[in-house]
Amino acid sequence: MHLGEPLATHFRLIDAQKAALNKLGIKTVRDLLYHFPARYEVGGEGAAISGLVAGQEATLVGTLEKMETKKGWKSRIPMSEGYLRDQTGRIKLRWFNQPYIAKMYAEGSLVRAVGKVTGSADKIYLANPQLQKVSATEAGLFDSQKGPQKKVLGSPVSAKTPKAGRPDHFSGDLFAIYPESRGVSSLWFRHAIKKIFETGFEVEDPIPALLLKKYNLPTLRTALVWAHTPQNLKDAEAARKRFAFEEVFMIQLELGRERASAAKEKSFVVDVPRQNINEFMSDFPFEATVAQKKAIETILGDMRLGRPMSRLLEGDVGSGKTAVAAVAAYAAVHTRPPAQNSGTLQVAYMAPTEILAKQHFESFIKFFEHFPINIGLITGSGCYKFPSKLNKDKITTISRTQLLKWVTNGEIPVLIGTHALIEKAVQFKHLALVVIDEQHRFGTNQRRKLAKKDKQLPHLLSMTATPIPRTLALTIYGDLDLTLLDEMPPGRKPIITEIVRPADRKGAYEKMRAELQAGRQAYVICPRIDEPDPDKAFALQAKSVKAEAKRLKKDVFQEYELEILHSKMTPKEKDNVMLRFSKHEIDILVATSVVEVGVNVPNATLIIIEGAERFGLSQLHQLRGRVVRSNHQAYCFVCPESRGESTTARLKALVTAKNGFELAEQDLLQRGPGELSGRKQWGISDIGMEAIRNLKLVEAARTEAQALLKKDPDLRAYPLLSQLLMQRTLQTHFE
Ligand code: ADP
Ligand code: MG
């Protein structure tokens, strides 16, 4: 059979299977063959669960079943129960006093469970096991560093208990265990793959043979067999490495072509006399940092060329990216469209949330105070314009239709907004610059969509404070030039971060009171919005915004104004709270992590983060960034709920790490690539994410992709690559 053929040509599928396959994105024979096992289990004798005896410490890998909360029969102690199943059988799991565990893991989850086999004879169970989600990612295949999970490549074998009748190395058959979906089991996958292998299939390897040889990677046919039906784990590992390389290689080719095609396009020449730029900047309430000045130079240099700029500005929270964007915008709106003696070029500025869009809108109004221009704000919930016709210092609401009309005829040179900005109806007259705040991918296609009426492609300035590991940056931002804002505005004092044990929370509150008394404001972050449903008495017991706000107001900070902010509020409610917080009508803001990205209230100097172990290190770093906005000393109190040593050790990194990048690297090492915040937006598969742990592999794929494109920009000699790339591009941009 052919890889491109639809599955239905070769398989008789019932509706449930069709639905399940659809959900997994499997439509063709190729899709099926590229649906890789999450791990492998050893079949045959001495299998894991069936061989357990009471008293032993066991590490098991299997799927969860029947998770539920209960009360002890006599003791009435709240607890969770469930089962763990592997190829050989199942064992009961029990957690005393931890009813929330049952809610934290979905049935059917693949987990590693570590605990003591308790009970007697045929009534054994695993007591208070620690659970850890398992994915292919964790197999540690590409772990060039010393990762903690190196040994566990799909193995249900406990390293500690070779006595329990289990081989320490793998003999016997390996069974592939697939990421499943209701309707198609691992068994179904194994049968289906077997059928394809038996029938025979034609493959053409998209990766040039020379590369396979150079990096010692198996051919496509071999790799498929090794990935799905390996004789040993070494083969499986080699196969997965090949597919990870393939994916990163494809991404790099895609980015390389994106870059090349953007470079061929034309853009407006934006060239404003230096003196005007200096004048604009001299009205800032501060002196730009050296890093800001350098970034501005580079950006102005890019925009002068008439070729589209594609630049990523990366800087920690508070490093002053908005001011840089404002200067770029200034240059654009002080340039006339070619061959015209009126009107100006235009700027679109996109933010991920309404709160942020509004904040940028307000910052821009200030930055442009002495160079008045029309600035528009478009969000899902309303449109605004500055200045108002009647009052030159005021913002006014206007209808969407009116706003869009003015954007289209060029009367509004700067339009700020959320995603609403890239809707079809929004058409600019002379769009010269697109600024994207905290967005991950924004390709030529999207740029073109914004600027449909023009032949010119707008310049792109993408900005991010999300520190990501270098491998990932190379993988997802490979089409952009990079500028770092590696300097904080002067006078900023390093934030004082402390890990606070529950018993010491009072001390944190005292410090908070002192700050409030000094006229400062504070954030309290909680992992949940609401209290758990009282009927489900044992649901996840993390602190909730609503209950914590009530408690703080009643018991601790009676004399202060306190408000809540979370994602279930309407954009209007959120805006209102943020506005009042920024005007200091609110002293304490109790919020979920919605305040994570970019919110700016310089007078807030203290943040308490409850349930801190539920956040990744780089997310905690982002949250902490909310309070490094001014020259006041800032404080961050990190309060984990659990007192475990490993939690504390992990959180300590917040105190010691020098910057966000270090923390992102640690997240990658400790929590695995699946936990990197934002991963959903990147469109990288699990196996591709495995590669993120391996700098060498990513660099090799990148170098080779660039070399290939240099030799053969249109990939004429590689029609299959070219075709697969086209499919990829269609998928990433139009799904
Ligand atoms: P981010 O890089 O996180 O987007 P912002 O652009 O929001 O940071 O800037 C954070 C704060 O620092 C703002 O209040 C801004 O006015 C201020 N700021 C920016 N640049 C400087 C500077 N060079 N000196 C002093 N303050 C600055
Ligand atoms: Mg910002």
User: What is the structure's pLDDT at 513?
Assistant: 97
pLDDT band for position 675 (cuts 50, 70, 90)? low
Ligand 1 site, residue 96, Cβ cutoff 6 A: no
- Give how many domains the chain has, as a whole number: 4
User: What is the structure's pLDDT at 508?
Assistant: 95
Residue whose Cα lies nearest atom 5 of ligand 1: it is 320
Task: Kindly state whether residue 670 falls inside one of the protein's structural domains.
Answer: no
Please indicate whether residue 123 or residue 378 has the higher confidence score (pLDDT).
Answer: 378
pLDDT band for position 679 (cuts 50, 70, 90)? low
User: What is the structure's pLDDT at 454?
Assistant: 56
Q: What is the mean pLDDT of residues 389-404?
A: 92
- Which ligand ends up closest to the CA of 349? 2
Tell me if the pTM is above 0.75. Answer: no
User: What is the structure's pLDDT at 692?
Assistant: 79
Cα 328 to ligand 1 centroid, rounded to whole Å = 15
Host domain of residue 120: 42-148
User: What is the structure's pLDDT at 170?
Assistant: 33
627 has pLDDT over 60: yes
Task: Kindly state whether residue 328 falls inside one of the protein's structural domains.
Answer: yes
Contact call for residues 689 and 152 (beta carbons, < 8 A)? no
Q: What is the mean pLDDT of residues 548-565?
A: 95
139 has pLDDT over 70: no
Task: Kindly state whether residue 713 falls inside one of the protein's structural domains.
Answer: no
Ligand 1 site, residue 290, Cβ cutoff 6 A: no
Q: What is the mean pLDDT of residues 529-555?
A: 75
150 has pLDDT over 50: no
pLDDT band for position 678 (cuts 50, 70, 90)? low
CATH number (domain holding residue 518): 3.40.50.300
Report the residue among 484, 578, 600, 601 best suited for mutation to probe ligand 1: largest number of ligand atoms under 8 A from its CB.
600
**Mean pLDDT lowest among 129-133, 231-235, 487-491:** 129-133
Does one domain contain both 26 and 46? no
Task: Kindly state whether residue 636 falls inside one of the protein's structural domains.
Answer: yes
Nearest ligand 1 atom to the CA of 491 is 25
Cα 249 to ligand 2 centroid, rounded to whole Å = 32
User: What is the structure's pLDDT at 27?
Assistant: 92
Report the residue among 629, 630, 631 best suited for mutation to probe ligand 1: largest number of ligand atoms under 8 A from its CB.
629
Final residue in a domain of this structure, among 127, 148, 169: 148
409 has pLDDT over 90: yes
Task: Kindly state whether residue 452 falls inside one of the protein's structural domains.
Answer: yes
Task: Kindly state whether residue 331 falls inside one of the protein's structural domains.
Answer: yes
Task: Kindly state whether residue 474 falls inside one of the protein's structural domains.
Answer: no
Task: Kindly state whether residue 687 falls inside one of the protein's structural domains.
Answer: no
User: What is the structure's pLDDT at 676?
Assistant: 62
The residues pairing with 563 across neighbouring beta strands, listed in sequence order, are 589
Does one domain contain both 27 and 47? no
Reference 24, options 13, 454, 483; nearest CA is 13
Does one domain contain both 170 and 28? yes
Does one domain contain both 426 and 514? no
Reference 410, options 395, 396, 427; nearest CA is 427
Nearest ligand 1 atom to the CA of 602 is 14
How long is the chain? 735
**Mean pLDDT lowest among 25-29, 156-160, 315-319, 384-388:** 156-160
Ligand 1 site, residue 154, Cβ cutoff 6 A: no
Does one domain contain both 538 and 651? yes
Ligand 1 site, residue 626, Cβ cutoff 6 A: no
User: What is the structure's pLDDT at 380?
Assistant: 87
Burial of 730: CB neighbours in 10 Å, binned 0-12, 13-18, 19+: exposed
Nearest ligand 1 atom to the CA of 598 is 3
Contact call for residues 440 and 350 (beta carbons, < 8 A)? no
User: What is the structure's pLDDT at 618?
Assistant: 83
Final residue in a domain of this structure, among 171, 196, 230: 230
416 has pLDDT over 90: yes
Q: For 19-52, what is each residue's pLDDT tens digit?
A: 999 988 899 999 999 999 987 876 433 346 877 7
Q: Which DSSP string do the residues of 685-707 spell out, in sequence order? A: -HHHHHHTT-HHHHHHHHHHHHH
Query: Which of 68-77, 470-479, 613-622, 624-633 has the largest mean confidence?
Result: 613-622
User: What is the structure's pLDDT at 46?
Assistant: 32
pLDDT over 90 percentage in the chain: 41
Cis omega (within 30 of 0) for bond into 352 = no
Ligand 1 site, residue 379, Cβ cutoff 6 A: no
166 has pLDDT over 80: no
Does one domain contain both 131 and 177? no
Q: Which amino acid is at 217?
A: L
User: What is the structure's pLDDT at 48?
Assistant: 62
Does one domain contain both 640 and 518? yes
Ligand 1 site, residue 318, Cβ cutoff 6 A: yes
Does one domain contain both 520 and 401? no
Please indicate whether residue 394 or residue 692 has the higher confidence score (pLDDT).
Answer: 394
Does one domain contain both 437 and 564? no
Does one domain contain both 430 and 334? yes
**Mean pLDDT lowest among 149-153, 645-649, 685-689, 710-714:** 149-153
Cα 437 to ligand 2 centroid, rounded to whole Å = 7
User: What is the structure's pLDDT at 336?
Assistant: 93
- Which ligand ends up closest to the CA of 321? 1
Q: For 579-624, what is each residue's pLDDT tens digit?
A: 899 899 999 999 998 765 556 788 999 999 999 988 888 888 888 8
Q: 475 — phi, psi (to 5°)?
A: -75, -45
User: What is the structure's pLDDT at 677?
Assistant: 58
CATH number (domain holding residue 112): 2.40.50.140
Q: What is the mean pLDDT of residues 336-342?
A: 89
Cα 583 to ligand 1 centroid, rounded to whole Å = 18
In this structure, the number of other CB atoms found within 10 A of the CB of residue 644 comes to 12
Report which DSSP code applies to 552: I
Residue whose Cα lies nearest atom 4 of ligand 1: it is 321
Does one domain contain both 121 and 174? no
Cα 515 to ligand 1 centroid, rounded to whole Å = 22
Ligand 1 site, residue 435, Cβ cutoff 6 A: no
Please indicate whether residue 643 or residue 138 has the higher confidence score (pLDDT).
Answer: 643
Q: For 696-731, what is each residue's pLDDT tens digit?
A: 888 899 999 999 999 999 999 999 999 988 887 776
pLDDT band for position 137 (cuts 50, 70, 90)? very low
Nearest ligand 1 atom to the CA of 325 is 6
User: What is the structure's pLDDT at 260?
Assistant: 85
Ligand 1 site, residue 602, Cβ cutoff 6 A: yes
Ligand 1 site, residue 289, Cβ cutoff 6 A: yes
* Tokens, residue 624: 């902490």
CA distance 153 to 140: 7
Query: Which of 212-221, 647-656, 695-704 has the largest mean confidence?
Result: 212-221
Contact call for residues 504 and 638 (beta carbons, < 8 A)? no
Cα 521 to ligand 1 centroid, rounded to whole Å = 18
Does one domain contain both 28 and 73? no
Residue whose Cα lies nearest atom 16 of ligand 1: it is 320
CA distance 665 to 661: 6
Cα 308 to ligand 1 centroid, rounded to whole Å = 27
Ligand 1 site, residue 465, Cβ cutoff 6 A: yes
- Which ligand ends up closest to the CA of 660? 1
User: What is the structure's pLDDT at 279?
Assistant: 96
Cα 216 to ligand 1 centroid, rounded to whole Å = 49
